[in-house]
Amino acid sequence: MKNETLHKVISSEYKLGFETIVNSETFPPGLSGDVIKAISSKKDEPKWLLDYRLKAYKKWLQMTEPKWANLDYDTINYQDISYFSAPKKAPNSLDEIDPTILSTYEKLGIPLEEQKLLAGIAVDAVFDSVSVKTTFQDELEKLGIIFCSISEAAQKHPELLKKYLSYVVPSNDNFFACLNSAVFTDGSFVYIPKNVKCPMELSTYFRINALNTGQFERTLIIADEGSYVSYNEGCSAPMRDTSQLHAAVVELVALKDAQIKYSTIQNWYPGDENGKGGILNFVTKRGICKGDNSKISWTQVETGSLLTWKYPSCILKGDNSVGEFYSIALSSLAQQADTGTKMYHIGKNTKSTIVSKGISALKGRNAYRGLVRMAKSASNSRNYSQCDSLLIGNACSAYTFPHQEVRNKSSSVEHEATTSKISDEQLFFLNQRGISEENAISMIVNGFCKEVLQELPMEFAVEAKALLNLSLEGCVG
């Protein structure tokens, strides 16, 4: 019934004409075919891309928002959201930035120049970063590596984009991915040519405009045969955003002998202790190990957002391919996280590893949800899963929902799970040895997360540690 109402609202004629929409800097709230046409026209997209969007939109109208996750939130009204906004007016100096954000930057030890960049201060104020950006763009170009925004790729590399967009995540894959396919604003596009090892960590951080991609981000990474790339998404600096709903899609394609390492630090605004104002983060991330001997590795540190709904997955199609998922999810305040992974073993001798660390504090709620599927064809395949939960305080909770399907006799699946609690007795012990409450908690949490932190690229790991400590500040006593 609810869906019908939604359908009615959505299909009703949009009040403002198409031209009015296109001419405005920020679209008025609401979603319709016209709005999608307007987004596409703003970006000067080729017709096939507009058709792709409209097709997705049509499918989306027939879909229902999934409710199976272990998450509570108010119904989202999709007509209350504005689906396009021009980049906000850049502030002129750090003086115009919210002091609480600045103090967080300081605690995280982010240099001043980078603070300016993160705060979105007009780019000409940060010459250093710009020159960094251009020098490394030159180097990448020499190797034939494409690293640009999706919008740019639509103009300059349409054949690659057309071939691989929705290659892993069909536009009607799920409600949120479908919405993203219809209205995605921007995101990163990466192509690594055959036998090229990308010489540096690629990061959204350097692609300055990517910091402002808004709520419907779309990322596509293609690693051609024998290539390697490590991609870092996000950073530990707090991302305040006024929009509530975020629905991103990330697709990874690893061809024969290729490797993709994808690391994320997510620190969107978590809302207050009553869950007011936080980001609702619904993300679809999936990679395919298409060729033999390929490998995809997801590492994520999720500390932000009021709500996290995210299952970075691997389709292990090539023989001997490898999928990995390393995750730290921290839910404090009134945050809720329902996150995990899916490993689809299709090729022979495929291998997957899952290490999930969930931390709940205050009123936080954390769920691991995972699927391991060994197809009939996936002979001699192996999975190892380890899901550990850590509870801090008495009002938080942790859940584990593992799901395993094994359809052949030669494969093995292993699952280990633990739940532990930081007890008053442990804290007192450490206090009695002269270690303060905050240090004690951070020691226990860092120890708990060790196996995942060591999977992160060096600098990212340092950021992640600082972030974990910061996110747990004041969660006891």
Q: Which is nearer to other proteins, 129 or 426 (CB)?
A: 426
Q: Supply the minimum distance, in Å, between the C-beta of residue 370 and other proteins.
A: 22
In the complex, minimum distance from the CB of residue 183 to other proteins, in angstroms, rounded to a whole number: 43
Site string for other proteins, 410-449 (x = CB under 8 A): ----------x--xxxx-xxxxxxxxxx-x---xxxxxx-
For residues 356 and 372, give the distance between their C-alpha atoms in angstroms, rounded to a whole number.
14
Give the integer Cα–Cα distance in Å for 156 and 345.
35
- Our CB check for other proteins shows the closer of 99 and 477 to be 477
Please, which of residues 203-232 interact with other proteins by CB under 8 A?
none
Q: Which is nearer to other proteins, 177 or 359 (CB)?
A: 359
Q: Does 450 bind other proteins (CB under 8 A)?
A: yes
Total residues at interface with other proteins (CB under 8 A):
23
DSSP 227-286: -EEEEEE--SS-B--S--EEEEEEEEEE-TT-EEEEEEEE-B----TT--S--EEEEEEE
Of 286, 290, 289, 316, which is closest to residue 298 (Cα–Cα)? 286
Smallest distance from other proteins to CB 424, Å: 6
Cβ nearer to other proteins, comparing 258 with 445? 445
In whole angstroms, how close is the CB of 387 to other proteins at the nearest point? 15
Q: Least CB distance from residue 388 to other proteins, whole Å? A: 9
How far, in Å, CA of 266 to CA of 468, rounded? 11
Burial of 123 (0-12, 13-18, 19+ CB in 10 A): middle
Q: For the range 112-118, what are the long-range contacts, defined as Cβ-Cβ under 8 Å and sequence gap of 24 or more?
A: 115/237, 117/208, 117/211, 118/211, 118/235, 118/237
Say how far apart CA 209 and CA 226 lie, in whole Å: 30
Compare residues 374 and 390 and give the one whose CB is closer to other proteins.
Answer: 390
Minimum separation from the CB atom of position 389 to other proteins (A): 13
SS (H, E, C) 164-189: HCCCCCCCCCCHHHHHHHHHCCECEE
Nearer to other proteins, 154 or 440 (CB): 440
CB 317 within 8 A of CB 375: no
Closest separation in Å from C-beta 474 to other proteins: 16
Closer of 142 and 433 to other proteins (Cβ): 433
Q: Which residue has the tokens 């990212």?
A: 460
User: Closer CB to other proteins, residue 79 or residue 431?
Assistant: 431
Least Å distance between CB 473 and other proteins? 16
Do 79 and 29 form a contact (C-beta atoms < 8 A)?
yes
Q: How far is the CB of 106 from other proteins (least distance, A)?
A: 21
Q: Taking the CA atoms of 203, 150, 34 and 51 in sequence, report the sign of the dihedral they define.
A: negative
Considering only residues 259 to 288 of the shown chain, the ones binding other proteins according to CB under 8 A are none
Site for other proteins in 18-47 (CB under 8 A): none
326-355 residues in contact with other proteins (CB under 8 A) are: none
Q: Which positions from 170 through 199 interact with other proteins, judged by CB under 8 A?
A: none
454 binds other proteins (CB under 8 A): no
Name which of 76, 64, 72 is nearest 367 in CA terms.
72
User: By the 8 A CB rule, do 356 and 370 touch?
Assistant: yes
Query: Strands, DSSP E only, in 119-161?
Result: 146-149
Nearest to 37 by CA among 45, 157, 29: 45
- Closer to other proteins by Cβ: residue 113 or 438: 438
Site string for other proteins, 372-411 (x = CB under 8 A): ----------------------------------------
C-alpha to C-alpha distance for 345 and 411, rounded to whole angstroms = 10
Would you say 225 and 257 are in contact if contact means Cβ atoms under 8 Å apart?
A: yes
402 vs 87: CA distance, rounded Å:
41
The least CB distance from residue 433 to other proteins, in Å, is 4
Task: Report the distance separating Cα 137 and Cα 140, nearest Å.
Answer: 5
Of residues 404 and 446, the one with the C-beta less far from other proteins? 446
* Residues in 231-260 that interact with other proteins by CB under 8 A: none
Closest distance to other proteins from the beta carbon of 422 (Å): 9
Q: Between 164 and 448, name the residue whose CB sits nearer to other proteins.
A: 448
The residue ranges that bind other proteins (CB under 8 A) are 420, 423-426, 428-437, 439, 443-448, 450
